Structure 1
Amino acid sequence: MRKSNILFIINPISGGKDKMKIPALIDTYLDRSRFIGNYRITEYAGHAAEIVEETLSLDFDIIVAVGGDGTINEVGAKVLEQKKVLGIIPFGSGNGLARFLKIPMDPRKALEVINQCHITHIDTATFNEKVYFNMAGMGFDAHVSAVFAGNKKRGLSGYLKLGLKEMLSYKPDTYTILVDGKSYTRKAFVVSVANSSQYGNNAHISPLASVSDGLLDVCVIKNFPLYRIPVLAFYMLTAKTHHSGMVEIIKGKDIHISRPTAAAIHIDGEPFMMGKEIDISIKPLSLRVIVPLLS
């Protein structure tokens, strides 16, 4: 039986976690009867995508992103383009897509999933032509992501501290949202367009979302007084956000969002600046991903 060529792309800084033991884990636990394993370590932002481009001629069958949602996005966009198979070893702050796909947080167990090599197809989406797999959006979360990008203290605790600080001065915007031809005008704290159900850390913004239904979930977090933050957190952490009056969820395929000014957006947790007009669309079952074989 022909062995599959597999490349692990390791982001050494995602999530503020040490990944220097990952090469040894690969050497020890990768099933060498099925795979020829290699790995590369990224050195700067954008390097993961460059590595995938560089290795195009080497005929890798599977490319594994070792990092968080941002690393998965960078690697996955090229995997999608090249029609390869994506593997995931979660090592970020939130690991939203990996958690949704039931990929273990323990790297050794995640390697066991790679060894099983059970492949499924998932939807992908574009946000003004930028590909994403888990979550993209605008508003407060995008603003915090942009500020957090310059913060040297990575990880969940640093993000939460910064978020609480920024919340005191943040002013919601009014958005015009067109979903499959129907228009909605909403003053919102956050507008997230979800492919999977959660941001990460099991904080679910759209608990009924699916990565294989051909639909995106436009999640509007309404303007709310600060004292209700614990209520919103409760709904998210118990995956009951769809029962909350603080969140409106609109499902659709073709989405256009207009906002008052150009501002920060986030794509799979990574911040970008984008203009006032944003087009979002879905590409059903367009990416092959290795996921656990669940009984």
Structure 2
Amino acid sequence: METSAIRKSRGEQIFQVILVLFMLFMILITLYPFVYVLLSSISDSRKLISHSGLLLTSQGLTFDAYTKVFQNPNILGGYLNTILIVFGGTLLNLFMTSLGAYVLSRKGVPWARIVMLMIVFTMFFSGGLIPIYLLVNNWLHLGNSLLALIIPGMISTWNLIILRTSFESIPDSLIESARIDGAQDFTILFRIVIPLSLPVMAVMILFYGVNHWNSWFNAMLYLRDRELFPLQLILREILIQNSTAYMSGDASASDVEAVGESIKYATIIVATLPILAVYPFLQKYFVKGVMIGSIKG
């Protein structure tokens, strides 16, 4: 049976037009900084530094800045360290968070409520920077090691709560049926619970992965050898400490500053593009996963 379209009032039509224009404006002001950095990174450094106003096209197309960036061994080493941290850290995060969420989501676990209250307590109160540094560096002896960037943050309280809520939505009858068939807790977790929670697990991968990729403070705190620096710490040095002169190659003294600006923009793109490329693959799970993990069915 065909239903006639509901005619919108003039006020609703005006509101919809205003809403669309507002959203387009928000997209523009959000996207333009990234476009500006991208265009600046592929522009001739001399033309770029003399350009004023909005940058809508590249000023003399060139990829020299990217060539200089990828010739820098610190950046290539930082990439490798960051990839190790992201993959190793995210896998450990998922494993430990899944174990904690599964235990706390099962009924009849002794002291589960008290343990959960203690975990939530850590969201609002912490020991402070100095005790954490002493714990990691002096007691765990993880100083100047990539493990110092992974082990202390194995479990995020917020992610644990989301995952626990998702696991609680799985019917108890399904778990009991698996137990009747002789399945143990690890089998139930990895062959039943996690496969039924893939949207939430995708969100966990996104949250943990982006956090590891963007992290630089802990690396600055615990690492001393430059060979261990992650990409974001190298990027911080380039942007804040202005350490681009040695990457400018054979540029004249008058052009070093201009070339340095192009190198900064290219480094930002190199450090940002990989993590942006992950979003399209996980975006379809994002809203669904967060909703499943935040509202108990």
**TM-score over 0.5 for the pair:** no
TM-score normalised by the chain length of structure 2: 0.21
Tell me which structure has the larger Cα radius of gyration.
Answer: 2
The structure with more helix, counted as a fraction of residues: 2
Greater relative contact order, per chain length (Cα 8 Å cut-off, separation 6+)? 2
The structure with more strand, counted as a fraction of residues: 1
